[in-house]
């Protein structure tokens, strides 16, 4: 291949990998690449949507389009009219193997002829009911087609004709799948109590689409509310004022109290049920009941933050507030100023959530008992302690014991205290970040830090990042700490071996020379398959290294091996004999090589997924694959499946 063409090809593949700029390149594609069939197959396999800006020769090539829609059914949009009229291509687009999500718009791009094809449309709506939108008018009127669609997705009833939106069997199937489909039923069937009952049993809120008569039917209403208390929102004024109805609603969801009549929002039994279900429902109680101690006590016991909706009088009630802050310390912000100054209340609050120390008065932020309770719950709350207590060694240690980075909030004096820092670093090595410059250059101090957390090496001085003993300690604890070692030590083989043995991907931070060292690279890949990504190009192209990876480690690491290797037939055959799934990385040509594919599927039936379209339709290849793994059937064409029925 000419150098110019090769450069063009590599530039396009690089653009696809980076996800940018490839469309402009394809619009100006050289004639040589326009006619390079294997290159086209490679490109649409990597990025099926690229068919949009591909040359017309590709859009009209049956195999290229088939490969594109196999990987992404929406690529059908960009195929030629002839390919959009090809039944096998369209069937491939509208059907996907079990477990795959199907884009319901796939049928949209099929030809008018195939939108009239019942087999195609049934296949489409079986996978995604809403594909019915793009079926021909004739098939949208076909009861069998519509039944399949709404059984798969109730909301597909939206695309059925009025006559079938008025068909009891169809609508029952739709609302059983999705109660919200009741919206699209005919007015007559929105008044059918059996259908409405089926719908509200699926989702109570859909009662809003039922007829006025059904919305007044107590049995339907109660069924809807048992399923969703929020359905009360769409009910009549009479029902919102019906105590039995509202009681069912708030028992299901306390929030439904919002939709009850003012009279029932002032009914103690109703409100008590609501706040017991969800304390926040107190927001919708009458002012009288927001001032009822029993109601409010129940609400804050359920959710302390409900204190926000209590009357001012009860926000000043110590028993109420104590219950609220014991449930959720953040309720302290809604207590009266008097109780925010009450030590017993604040103690209860910070014991539940230390960060609420921020709402305490300065006097209590300087109270040792209160602050020790706060930092013992949440070390970060040291931030809200008084300057005096941020300088208290015992307080700082208590905070750091809970949250190592709390040392950030200690006083500057504490951060310079060598003895204190040593104790802190034993608890949290990363606290080194907040120590003084002198201590970051103190070998003993840094040794304690990296012994606790190797990652702390990033906060050490440049001098100590070049200390072999310290770096060895750090990477033995945390392999990726190699990133913070000096360039000199990143080039030290002993250091690099220790790092990658701890964490394979630490290879990323080794020197260029060591990323070309077989022993280092093999150790890295043994620990983490993806570490091959960081090996030198030379080793990614080394047959011995790649074969050892395939044989002893994880074949998925091979995605980082040099593509050149997977153009070598003899090498690929040897690898496939050990791991058939490696066919994924073989060149397009080898995926179309019968012996290569037979070797792969004999070892791993699933490898059939990566074979060429032609070999996926080869009986012997398919039978060999299925004999190894029956799930390989999911990659076989519909026509061949029918032909092989009873043989596999």
Please tell me what DSSP assigns to residue 285.
Answer: S
pLDDT value of residue 345: 97
Q: What is the 3-state secondary structure (H, E, C) of 199-239?
A: HHHHCHHHHHHCCHHHHCCHHHHHHHHHHCHHHHHHCCHHH
What is the Cα–Cα distance from 556 to 300, expressed in whole angstroms?
54
Q: Which two tokens stand for residue 396?
A: 């700082």
pTM: 0.68
pLDDT value of residue 581: 85
pLDDT value of residue 614: 81
What is the Cα–Cα distance from 191 to 33, expressed in whole angstroms?
64
Helix or strand or coil: residue 170? Answer: helix
Using alpha carbons, select from 117, 116, 114, 181 the residue that is nearest to residue 147: 181
What is the Cα–Cα distance from 487 to 508, expressed in whole angstroms?
13
335 and 346 Cβ atoms separated by less than 8 Å = no
Domain coordinates in residue numbering, the chain: 1-84, 108-227, 562-648
Q: Which two tokens stand for residue 136?
A: 């021909």
- The residue ranges of the chain whose pLDDT is under 70 are 1-4, 17, 19, 96-103, 551-556, 637-639, 642, 644-648
User: DSSP alpha helices (H): ranges in 95-136?
Assistant: 112-115, 118-127
- For 421-459, write each residue's pLDDT tens digit: 999 999 899 999 999 999 999 999 999 999 999 999 999
């Amino acid at each position: 291949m000419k150098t110019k063409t090769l450069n063009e090809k590599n530039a396009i593949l690089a653009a696809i990998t980076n996800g940018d700029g490839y469309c402009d390149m394809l619009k100006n594609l050289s004639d040589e690449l326009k006619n390079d069939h294997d290159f086209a197959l490679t490109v649409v396999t990597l990025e099926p949507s690229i068919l949009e800006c591909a040359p017309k020769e590709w859009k009209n090539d049956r195999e290229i389009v088939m490969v594109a829609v196999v990987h992404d059914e929406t690529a059908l949009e960009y195929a030629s009219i002839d390919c959009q009229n090809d039944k096998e291509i369209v069937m491939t687009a509208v059907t996907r193997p079990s477990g795959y999500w199907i884009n319901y718009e796939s049928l949209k791009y099929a030809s008018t002829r195939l939108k009239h094809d019942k087999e195609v449309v049934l296949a489409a709506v079986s996978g995604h009911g809403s594909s019915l939108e793009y079926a021909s008018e004739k098939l949208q009127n076909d009861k069998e087609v519509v039944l399949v669609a709404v059984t798969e997705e109730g909301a597909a009833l939206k695309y059925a004709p009025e006559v079938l939106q008025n068909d009891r069997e169809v609508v029952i199937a739709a609302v059983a799948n999705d109660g919200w489909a009741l919206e699209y039923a005919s007015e007559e069937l929105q008044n059918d109590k059996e259908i409405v009952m089926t719908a509200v049993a699926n989702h109570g809120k859909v009662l809003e689409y039922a007829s006025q008569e059904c919305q007044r039917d107590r049995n339907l209403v109660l069924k809807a509310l048992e399923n969703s208390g929020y359905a009360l929102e769409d009910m009549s004024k009479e029902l919102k004022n019906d105590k039995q109805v509202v009681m069912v609603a708030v028992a299901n969801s306390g929030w439904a109290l919002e939709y009850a009549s003012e009279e029932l929002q002032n009914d103690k039994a109703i409100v008590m049920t609501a706040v017991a279900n969800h304390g926040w429902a107190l927001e919708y109680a009458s002012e009288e009941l927001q001032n009822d101690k029993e109601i409010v006590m129940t609400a804050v016991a359920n959710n302390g933050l409900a204190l926000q909706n209590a009357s001012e009088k009860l926000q000043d009630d110590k028993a109420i507030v104590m219950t609220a802050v014991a449930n959720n310390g953040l309720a302290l912000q809604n207590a009266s100023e008097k109780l925010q100054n009450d030590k017993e209340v604040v103690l209860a609050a910070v014991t539940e959530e230390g960060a609420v120390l921020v709402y305490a008065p300065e006097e209590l932020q300087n109270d040792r008992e209160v602050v020790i309770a706060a930092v013992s719950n949440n070390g970060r709350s040291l931030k809200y302690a008084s300057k005096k207590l941020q300088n208290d060694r015992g307080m700082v240690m208590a905070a750091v014991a809970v949250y190592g980075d709390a040392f950030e909030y200690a006083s500057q004096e504490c951060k310079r205290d060598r003895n204190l820092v040593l104790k802190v670093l034993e608890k949290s090595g990363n606290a080194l970040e907040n120590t003084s410059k002198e201590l970051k250059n103190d070998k003993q101090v840094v040794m304690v830090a990296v012994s606790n957390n190797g990652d702390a090496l990033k906060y050490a001085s440049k001098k100590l990042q070049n200390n072999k003993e310290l770096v060895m300690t750090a990477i033995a604890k945390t392999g990726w700490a190699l990133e913070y070692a000096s360039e000199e030590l990143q080039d030290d083989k002993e250091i690099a071996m220790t790092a990658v043995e701890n964490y394979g991907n630490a290879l990323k931070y080794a020197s260029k020379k060591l990323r070309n060292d077989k022993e280092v690279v093999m150790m890295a890949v043994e620990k983490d398959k993806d570490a091959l990504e960081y090996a030198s190009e030379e080793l990614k192209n080394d047959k011995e290294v790649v074969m050892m990876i395939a044989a002893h480690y994880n074949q998925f690491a091979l995605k980082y091996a040099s593509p050149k290797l997977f153009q070598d037939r003899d090498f690929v055959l040897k690898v496939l004999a050990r791991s058939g799934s490696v066919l994924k990385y073989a060149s397009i040509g080898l995926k179309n090589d019968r012996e290569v594919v037979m070797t792969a599927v004999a070892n791993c039936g699933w490898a059939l997924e990566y074979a060429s379209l032609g070999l996926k339709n080869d009986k012997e290849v398919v039978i060999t694959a299925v004999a190894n793994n029956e799930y390989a059937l999911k990659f076989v064409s519909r026509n061949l499946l029918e032909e092989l029925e009873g043989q596999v």
